[in-house]
Amino acid sequence: MSANAESSAYRGRFAPSPTGPLHFGSLVAAVGSFADARARGGDWLLRIEDLDRPRERPGAADDILYTLAAFGLTWDGAILRQSARGWAYAQALEQLIHAGLVYPCGCTRAEIATSARRGPEGPIYPGTCRHGLPPGRTPRSIRLRADSPRIDFTDRIQGPRSQRIDHDVGDFVLRRADGIHAYQLAVVVDDAAQGITDIVRGADLLLSTPRQILLQRHLGLRQPRYAHLPLAIDTDGRKLSKSLSALPVDASNPVPTLLAAWRFLGQQAPPTRATDITDFWRWARGRWRLDRVPALQHRSPTQATAWPPDTGPRHGRAGQPR
């Protein structure tokens, strides 16, 4: 973490993809990032990550904006949309090309899957095109050379983390075969453009963080602070997601679900049951405590959407009350 990030005014963000309506898991991420920003007197920015246009669902972005407003999650400034920022990603990629840090790759996903060893997030690219395209191959994607020392960082919820990208991930894609810039590159460029100092998001992106830190270093960008929230899972132990058709949250009656998200994040319940969004946030803003958020604790939707009384102290990473 750089001293520059420590000394800057807090700027957080929420960055949903418009592939469907907000479900409970995405609401948890929005509530956590919003509460952390407001508790620290900071800005909370909104970014629509509509880079992957083939997966975008018509009307989803507007639905997300409506739902956030219904839950009292008001953002600062203009909304940034990735679909309008291809030039910025191309510029960053060109910088990496000039530095000799990337190379063209002609491999298909199927070929990689059959020849690669498995890593924490799937097949690890075996470096087939690292020293030049094999005969008869044409470029499909562009990959970053993962030649780097171990990436270490301290997450504000998960604690110290470490990863060897070359061993656990391999050379990763920055521009896909369909010409779309990859998430890892776009998110780094956009966080820098928006001046983000603190990223509070779901733990499903925890393994992506070292790749983003590596790109920040290569591009000369400031490293934000990170905090990864626990995930909401379904009864089969899978993360709630739009691809699994997780039920959208009810924007017409937001208070019960907002309270459930608040308790899911380990926060103390209001002394009386809240009935109004404005009253809840007036009470909650000064009472948010990141140290009460469970580390990598997954709960099922039935647990997450219940509103149980506070029956005792929360437990921290080492099993001690906090």
Tell me: do 163 and 58 sit in the same domain: no
Tell me: do 32 and 159 sit in the same domain: no
Tell me: do 236 and 256 sit in the same domain: yes
45: in domain: yes
Tell me: do 207 and 293 sit in the same domain: yes
321: in domain: no
Residues 93 and 98: their CA atoms lie apart, in Å, by 9
Q: Which residue has better confidence, 267 or 242?
A: 267
| Active-site entry in 11, 140, 143, 242 | 242
pLDDT per residue as tens digits for the range 222-263: 999 999 999 887 555 545 444 333 567 889 989 999 999 999
Residues 109 and 122: their CA atoms lie apart, in Å, by 11
CA angle in degrees (0–180, nearest 5) for 201-202-207: 100
How confident is the model at residue 127, as a pLDDT?
A: 85
Domain total of the chain: 2
How confident is the model at residue 239, as a pLDDT?
A: 52
How confident is the model at residue 270, as a pLDDT?
A: 87
CATH number at residue 141: 3.40.50.620
pLDDT per residue as tens digits for the range 271-309: 777 778 999 999 998 999 999 999 875 554 443 443 333
pLDDT per residue as tens digits for the range 114-132: 776 787 777 888 888 999 9
* 45 bridge partner residues: 13
Tell me: do 145 and 242 sit in the same domain: no
Tell me: do 168 and 41 sit in the same domain: no
CB count in 10 Å sphere of residue 250: 11
Tell me: do 70 and 205 sit in the same domain: yes
How confident is the model at residue 121, as a pLDDT?
A: 77
Reported confidence tier of residue 86, pLDDT bands at 50, 70, 90: very high
Mean pLDDT for all residues in the chain: 85
How confident is the model at residue 136, as a pLDDT?
A: 83
Tell me: do 46 and 17 sit in the same domain: yes
Tokens representing 233? 């899972």
Backbone angles phi, psi at 2, to 5 degrees: -85, 155
Percentage of the residues of the chain whose pLDDT score is greater than 70? 84
Q: Mean pLDDT lowest for which of 85-89, 114-118, 185-189?
A: 114-118
CB count in 10 Å sphere of residue 96: 18
Active site residue 242: yes
159-163 and 151-155 as β-strands: parallel, antiparallel, unpaired? antiparallel
What is the domain extent for residue 163?
86-185
94: in domain: yes
pLDDT per residue as tens digits for the range 27-39: 999 999 999 999 9
319: in domain: no
Of 185, 206, 224, the residue at which a domain comes to its end is: 185
Reported confidence tier of residue 90, pLDDT bands at 50, 70, 90: very high
Tell me: do 144 and 215 sit in the same domain: no
Of 170, 185, 200, the residue at which a domain comes to its end is: 185
Reported confidence tier of residue 8, pLDDT bands at 50, 70, 90: low
Tell me: do 256 and 293 sit in the same domain: yes
Q: What is the mean pLDDT of residues 37-63?
A: 93
145: in domain: yes
What is the amino acid identity at position 317? Answer: R
316: in domain: no
Q: What is the mean pLDDT of residues 71-94?
A: 97
What is the sign, positive or negative, of the torsion defined by CA atoms of 144, 150, 152, 157?
positive
36: in domain: yes
Tell me: do 104 and 168 sit in the same domain: yes
How confident is the model at residue 110, as a pLDDT?
A: 82
Tell me: do 157 and 300 sit in the same domain: no
311: in domain: no
H or E element that contains 191 = helix 183-193
Residues 64 and 50: their CA atoms lie apart, in Å, by 12
Tokens representing 211? 């790749």
Residues 13 and 226: their CA atoms lie apart, in Å, by 12
Of 129, 157, 185, the residue at which a domain comes to its end is: 185
